[in-house]
Every structure is written in C-alpha cells, then in structure tokens.
Amino acid sequence: MSLRTWWRRTRPTDPEFVAALARRWAELPAVARTRAQVIGRHAVGCEGTHGVFPRCNLSCAPCYHSRDANRVRVDGEHTVREVDAQMSLLRQRRGPVAHAQLIGGEVTLLDPDDHAAALLAMRAHGREPMSMTHGDMDDDYLERLALGPDGRRRLHRISFAGHFDSLMTGRRGIPRPPDEASLNPYRRAFVARFERLRREHRVRYFVAHTMTVSPANVAEVAGVTRDAGRMGFGMLAFQPAAFVGDHRRWHEPYRAMTDDDVWAEIARGIGARLDHTFVQHGDLRCNRVVYGFWVGARWHPIADGDDPRDVAARDAFLDWFGPVNFIGSSAPVLLVKIARVVARHPRAVPIALGWVRRRLRAVGLRAVLRHGVRPMSVVMHSFMDAADVAPAWAATQRGEVADDEAVRATQERLAACHYTMAHPSTGELVPACVQHAVLDPAENVELRRLLPIAEVRR
C-alpha cells in the first residue's frame, strides 16, 4: 500500500460522511438541535428494512405489523432483492455508513443462505446490520448462517437482537409464559448460542435484548433489567407498547403507563441513576439512551450529567471526534484516525485522562482489575400511536406546521426520527412510525398478492 493510500485510508473524516451529517443536522427541528444530540454530529441515525419478510411464527400483543403481514410468504429471493434496493437508497441519501436493522417479520424464517446474503448486501452498502429475532430458532441456525454450506466462515461478526417478553405467545417450550422470570432460561440459552459460535468458529458477536412493555408487565421490568443485564447482552432495549399495527392485538390500556414509569423501573433494576439527557438520539420523547458498563455485579453509567467536567468531555468528543466514522474500520486504522484527531486537538488527552480518573474513582481500580469491564447500554424506544402519526405525517407532507400543539409535537418527533426506512420505488425515506402506522397496511396487501402463502412452516 502506498503512503498516499494509507494516509487517505486513515484520514479521520470522510467528506461524504461529513456531508451526510450536515444534511441530517439541517433537517432536525430546532428542539432537537442540542449539545447532546448525536444525529448530525456523530451518526445519521438507525435504519431498518420493511416488507422484506413480513411473516412471523410467534404472536405478540401488541404487534406493530399490520394484519396481513402473516399472510405473506417468506421468499429469500424477494428478501435479498428488496434489502439490496432499500440499502442502496439509504447509501445514496444517508451516506457511506450507518447501523441498520434486518427486520420483518421473523428473520430466522429466512433460509440461512438467504439471511447471510441479505446481511452481506447490507454490508456492501456500508450498513452494519443487526438481525431482529424472537430468539426461538433451531439450534444449528446460527452455525448455518455464519458458516455457509461449505463449512467455511462467511460472516466474521454478527449482531442480533433477541426479543423476549411475556406478551409473546407460541415460543417452543413455553408457549404462554406465566411471567418474565420464566423466560430467563431462554434468554440465557440465546446468549449461550452466540458464545458457542464464537468459541467453536471464532465468529464475533453483539447481542441485544429487546422487550415490549405494557401495563401487564411493567412491574417486572426491574427484574428483567437485573437478570438479563447480567447475561452478556450488550444492550437492553425496552419498547413501551403503542397503538400501532394489528389492532386485533391491542388488549390493554397502554397509555395508562408513561415512559417515565418504564424508565423508573429500568433504573430500579439496574441500580443506578439513568440520565437520558446526557446523550440524545433524535427526539428525547422517542429515544432514551444511556451508555454504561458492568464491573462485577455493578453497572455504571459512562458519565455523570451533573458533573460539568463530564459535560465538557462529551462536548469535546462530539466536536472533535463526532465526524470520525468508527464503523467498519479495523482496530489499527481506527487507532491512527484517533491519533490524527488528537494531534489536531491535543487538549483531548487531559480531558480523556480526567474522564478515566473520575470513572476509576467511582468504580474502584481494584474492582476493575478483579472483574474487568463489560460495556452495556440501556435504551428505550417509544413508538407513537397510529392515530397520532397519520395526521401529523399528512401535515408534514403538505408542508404545513400544525396549529394543534399535539400534532406539532408529533411532527417534530417525525422530523427528528432516528429510525428510518427506505422506499426505492419513490425515492422516499420515512420514519418507522410512518411505515407501521400509515404505509404497512397497503404494502402488505400488495405483498400478499405477490407472495401468497404456499406452505406453513410449523
């Protein structure tokens, strides 16, 4: 490799990524342009697929897929073609890198070869994919996914989110979970599968735990946080239930419970204060995120939002390292990128050392040496009700800002959306809320015609 190529490869910022960030920042409503905002400063937001494998073989109440989703056949060719087209549009509009969810439907209903082809298509467009599953998969599925028919490793790293909660029915071995704790063996077995894959085939992994929260299980959120947090998941994500998707599965008064109620339970379970304003992804009414880490049996947030030195460290990070693209670079390349930023901003060194010192003081050096550090973030994503999204989206499309305060608030959330889906046929990018609340029903009717069910798997 010539010196020039190497210098180019390790340049901290990619002009295309910087331009994509600038476009995202310009699109944000004023209310979301805060010092804590990550969109437009360090990331373009998360992306997801739609209509690529709508079917699922478990039942959730609620389920945000439309009633026709389960009448669409899983068809690998369709999946890979659509994923490729959607990711291509996202690559064009959202720049060279982003995290993206391979989501339907149930991803493990895909043949492993088709699943792998879809993941590789996402990577080919600069997307770092995460497969979304209910976790009730055959024992050898992951191996067949990662290794391929010739037994050789085709995926060196995989990311999965496993959805486990007692609002789901039909899981093998526990079709009607009596409570959240009874799912713990299944949660553990899920992580153990990835651990075995890593051990036996050197496939690196990241696994997240996701859970829908309704008034029926909110009191068990603290227990899930406590238990699942210690199982090896890299992220715990909670979704308060919303009136979106298949209305036949809306069984509870979801709005009897607030996001603050759920968040308080998560904090109770993790045993720490969760300051969700320190780092902001899109609109705080949609997303709450706290990054942290386990040391032994205790979880610690990465920063104290009340400490001005931590706030200054966050600002320095976003200002100086924000435009650096961390996704997809090898460790040595990333190190050189960081070194080049530090050379430009030497004050980063004392700021970083001060942050490390404060964390060590909070955690204890001895505990770190004894137990090591395991990162784990806590996330809450609150979908909006379909009845709120439809009029707000219609107003946005007409180019209007609604007079009604509630509709305007929904418009703001949609404008700051952190979770985007692509429509290659129209060139449109839409918030996932709009996809599920407004577009899914017609799309699934069409898909049902295109891919009628020919067989039932189990």
Interface residues with ligand SF4 (CB under 6 A) are 282-283, 286-287, 381-384, 413-414, 417-419, 431-433
Please report, for residues 33, 167, 176, 189, 212, the alpha-carbon distance to residue 179 in angstroms, rounded to integers and kept in the order given.
Answer: 41, 9, 9, 17, 13
As measured in angstroms, the least distance from the Cβ of 434 to ligand SF4 is 8
The pair of three-digit structure tokens given for residue 314, joined into one six-digit string: 């966050």
Q: Are the beta carbons of 383 and 239 closer than 8 angstroms?
A: yes
Q: Are the beta carbons of 79 and 114 closer than 8 angstroms?
A: yes
Instruction: Give the DSSP H/E element, type plus range, for residue 168.
Output: strand 168-169
Nearer to ligand SF4, 222 or 415 (CB): 415
Nearer to ligand SF4, 239 or 444 (CB): 239
As measured in angstroms, the least distance from the Cβ of 435 to ligand SF4 is 8
Nearer to ligand SF4, 359 or 418 (CB): 418
As measured in angstroms, the least distance from the Cβ of 419 to ligand SF4 is 4
**Separation between Cα atoms, residue 249 and residue 436, nearest integer Å:** 14
As measured in angstroms, the least distance from the Cβ of 228 to ligand SF4 is 22
Q: Which residues contact 313 (CB under 8 A, 6 or more apart)?
A: 303, 351, 352, 354, 355
As measured in angstroms, the least distance from the Cβ of 432 to ligand SF4 is 4
As measured in angstroms, the least distance from the Cβ of 415 to ligand SF4 is 9
Q: Are the beta carbons of 128 and 142 closer than 8 angstroms?
A: no
Nearer to ligand SF4, 222 or 432 (CB): 432
Nearer to ligand SF4, 56 or 433 (CB): 433
As measured in angstroms, the least distance from the Cβ of 39 to ligand SF4 is 10
| Beta-strand pair 98-102/235-240 | unpaired
Nearer to ligand SF4, 262 or 432 (CB): 432
Nearer to ligand SF4, 203 or 379 (CB): 379
**Separation between Cα atoms, residue 216 and residue 398, nearest integer Å:** 39
Q: Are the beta carbons of 116 and 155 closer than 8 angstroms?
A: yes
Q: Which residues contact 325 (CB under 8 A, 6 or more apart)?
A: 13, 14, 17, 96, 97
